[in-house]
Structure 1
Amino acid sequence: MSQKDTLLHLFAGGCGGTVGAIVTCPLEVIKTRLQSSGLALRPVFQVQLGTLSGTGVIRPSQVAPGMFQVLRSILEKEGPRSLFRGLGPNLVGVAPSRAIYFAAYSKSREKFNAIFVPNSGPVHMCSAGFAAFVTNSLMNPVWMVKTRMQLERRVRGVKQMNALQCAKNVYQTEGIRGFYRGLTASYAGISETMICFLIYETLKKNLADCKLESASGRSEKVASDFLGLMLAAAFAKGCASCIAYPHEVIRTRLREEGSKYKYFFQTARLVFIEEGYSAFYRGLSAQLIRQIPNTAIVLSTYELIVHLLGSQTK
């Protein structure tokens, strides 16, 4: 891959990530709130028949509020602007993170093609995993600040911390290590990226094969091609998110300020003991609604820019 091609992938990945971050920011705030331990759970009482006398036993339990309940709470107590908490560091970080990711993915795919069968499943999985590892390692401080800002709850009219103030607070209270909280969970989440790109690249190859077999014989891409890529990306991300979602909840808990959560497995154990298995999937609906269109926007924007600028440089 030439230097010009690398810069092209950097630019295309950055543009795609920026567009997706702006459009889906409110859903990310809602998802983060649903994942946190500070979420106000609703007490419910269930009657279970299981005693020898046949009488019912009332067992108290707690249920997490839904996505729309959290949305209404944010609007009523904090105002519409809170739905865009963390957008600053997100915009600062999303362009370089996506740029780094797509450049690392394209570069590593070239290397893995020389080791495995070219453009095979192992190539896509290894390339996606390597790119995610590099991106998470470099960008975790930015995502840490973003999560802290999204978790901050202030009543309407009270000034909230900006990104610089939040970063300063993290440094003063936790030091440099504080910026890398949740990194182990991000590494665990590499599996989601690998699954996503394996499915996406497989569907992308099948779409390309169908195009070659079509009777039209056209060589240039049209709108229907990019719609197909958007649907492929949405399906791939949806499947990957459902499979690997628990790491997101653990990562959010690790990034909470002054929390009892210290390490990946310790956090997973505490969440399971105190809240049950279902807690690992809190916020999944918001995640799917956010991530599926976001991934579709990011990948299709990336493919479109690579196609447009790539064809002009040939």
Structure 2
Amino acid sequence: LLYFFPTRAIYFAAYSGVKERLNAVLVPESKKVHMLSAACAGITSSTLTNPIWLVKTRMQLEARVKGEMASNALKCAMHVYRTEGLRGFYRGITASYAGVSETIIHFVIYEALKQQLRNSHHSFSPPLTLSPNSHDFFGLMGAAAISKTCASCIAYPHEVIRTRLREEGSRYRSFIQTLQLVVREEGPLALYRGLLAHLIRQIPNTAIMMATYELIIHLASS
């Protein structure tokens, strides 16, 4: 929870704020608005929360090597600062920025599917027509699941590269160098290692999160 909530709070606050401003100067709810909003939100969230996720990754890797969680988050953060300085907290940030492409793909597909849901509701006969502020939340969950699946399958390699870059004392130094090294030594399929587990975790998470986000927006505007 310590890692998840700050990331999502920053992300959705940035996405909503940027989207609102862009709708005022560009074609409202256009693909350009969705892409720019998602990109700004992704970069902002990644920049502000990378230290948190680095500590989480280090603790997970330490547990894998030693067979137990040897330190808490504070001790891990202090160790990173002592051995690598402030720059150490931003290892893997380039991969996170590359991962913004996943966010863009996800939101462009999601917003398109959401618009299709709205259009389908408006095409119903009057007794079945939903009010303009109503949402089919199960439909939104489905849209979120589909869009996240597509985005993850396309952009997943950045997850593998980011994890490698965050390893302590590793030989991985940059995004491109890590990408080339993994492909050369382990083959292209290594870039998709762990994809199934990632999808099992992310799809229901994203479906619930997006439906909740839409519910909050709906209640706030009603």
TM-score range, shorter chain: over 0.9
Asked whether the equivalents of residues 60 and 69 of structure 2 are also in contact (C-alpha less than 8 Å), the reply is no
The runs of 5 or more residues in structure 1 that have no matched partner are 1-90
Give the 3-state SS of the residue equivalent to 1:117 in structure 2.
Answer: coil
Amino acid of the structure 2 residue aligned with 1:221: S
1:217 corresponds to which residue? 129
The 8 Å contact of residues 59 and 69 in structure 2, kept in 1 or not, is answered as: no
Residue 131 of structure 1 aligns to a residue in which SS? helix
Aligned residues: 217
Radius of gyration: which is bigger? 1
Verify: 1:179 aligned to 2:92, yes or no: no
TM-score (norm 2): 0.93
1:113 maps to which residue?
23
| Greater strand fraction, Structure 1 or Structure 2 | 1
**In proportion to residue count, which structure has more helix?**
2
Structure 2 counterpart of 1:139: 49
Matched residue, 1:303: 214
1:193 and 1:159 map into 2 onto residues whose CA distance is: 31
Shift of 1:101: 1.1
1:303 CA displacement: 1.3
Pairing 1:152-171 to 2, within 5 Å after superposition: 152=62, 153=64, 154-155=66-67, 160-171=70-81
Q: Which amino acid aligns with 2:100?
A: I
CA RMSD of the aligned region, Å? 1.5
Partners of 1:207 and 1:252 in 2: how far apart? 36
Is 1:290 the equivalent of 2:216? no
Q: Which amino acid aligns with 2:115?
A: K
Shift of 1:159: 5.4
Q: Percent identity?
A: 61
Distance in 2 separating the partners of 1:293 and 1:238: 10
Which amino acid in structure 1 is aligned with residue 130 of structure 2?
A: R
Letter aligned with residue 168 of structure 1: M
Task: State how 1:27-176 maps to structure 2 within 5 Å.
Answer: 91-152=1-62, 153=64, 154-155=66-67, 160-176=70-86
Q: What letter is aligned with 1:249?
A: V
* 2:172 is the counterpart of 1:265: no
- Separation of aligned partners in 1, 2:148 and 2:77: 30
Conserved? CA contact 2:98–2:158, under 8 Å:
yes
Shift of 1:261: 0.4
